[in-house]
Amino acid sequence: MNIHIAGFGAGLPEQKVTNHELPKSIDTTDEWIVSHTGISSRYVASKNESSGSLATKAAQEALKMSGVKPEEVGMVIVATSTPDYNVFPSCACLVQHHIGAVNAGAFDLLAACSGFVYAMQVARSMMLLDPRPVVVVGTDVMTRTVDWTDRNTCVLFGDGAGAVVLKADKRPGGILQSVLRSDGGGERVLYCDGGYRHPKPENMTPGFLHMDGKKVFNFAVKACEEVIRDLAQKQGLSLDQITWVVPHQANFRILDAAARRLGIDMSRFYMNISELANTSSATVPLALAQMSREGRFKSGDYIALVGFGAGLTWGGVLVQM
């Protein structure tokens, strides 16, 4: 039994904010943001939009494309760091209800920007025991975690959701390999405060994102390189045989550096950071949905999906279309 991607979907907020439209109070320029990150714009959720609503939109689109009926879905897995509720209920339960997956279980998975690739491997593993279709979503509203007075972080992120529907099938290919890694020694390199480590309310903090940009940058280049090499090696492929790398979109320069170290031409890294910025769990499935719409996949193509982020976490899955 092989696990194939049968449908792709995207859920983006209505409002797009270009670098020129950022609040004037932020001491930054379009030139700095583009040259240091590759980002020109991002989508920002309005007060009526959330991780749950964007995920629902993406999941509905993916289900429609797959031809799977909501009642046939066995599990809904939502990778997110910014669920609608603090702790519970899970975002996945909201999505399961809104898409009408009345026979499904649902749970959230937290692995920050690596969440979607983790969720793909978790779904694949579960489907070996229960082969019903699984909806896998990556969704985040990162613009609600940043301090909008901190130019080091607020310009980097955007909001959005992407989804796939996985179907078990005898056809060869599908998800072939996975690499999932973690190093909690890096807990303070990238983190959101708040949480339950301390008693409340004395130590209640607002849940802002904190990042040591340079450390994350250096980690990310190495992680991206390592994951692609490991996926290729596990499958017995040369790097040349990988048709597309679909990486987490955190910074154009991170991916450019990783591509150079691998000797892979940057034209084989699918990039959409310019328009969407860093949407955390959603970057990879949003890129997949866009690539599917653009007709970029051919049967037999090897696609390496790569994530890296807070935890620290990193990983990837190799998919044959």
Catalytic residue positions, numbered: 113, 248, 278
Closer of 192 and 317 to ligand UT7 (Cβ):
192
Task: Determine contact, residues 93/80, Cβ cutoff 8 Å.
Answer: no
Name residues contacting ligand UT7, limited to 102-131 (CB under 6 A): 113
Measured distance CA(247)–CA(279) in Å, rounded: 12
Q: Return all residues near 227 (Cβ < 8 A) that are at least 6 apart.
A: 179, 181, 304, 306, 308, 314, 315, 316
Binding test (CB under 6 A) with ligand UT7, winner from 83, 115, 285, 309: 309
Minimum CB–partner distance for residue 83 and ligand UT7 (Å):
18
- 1 burial level (CB within 10 Å; 0-12, 13-18, 19+): exposed
Chain length of the chain: 321
Minimum CB–partner distance for residue 161 and ligand UT7 (Å):
16
Binding test (CB under 6 A) with ligand UT7, winner from 75, 155, 189, 273: 155
Task: Determine contact, residues 118/131, Cβ cutoff 8 Å.
Answer: no
* Binding pattern for the stretch 17-36 against ligand UT7, x by CB under 6 A and - elsewhere: -----------x---xx--x
Binding test (CB under 6 A) with ligand UT7, winner from 178, 278, 290, 320: 278
Q: Does 82 bind ligand UT7 (CB under 6 A)?
A: no
CA atoms within 13 A on the CB side of 157: 27
Task: Write out the two tokens for 65.
Answer: 């494309």
Applying CB under 6 A, the residues found at the interface with ligand UT7 are: 28, 32-33, 36-37, 113, 151-152, 155, 190, 211, 213-214, 216-217, 220, 250-251, 278, 309
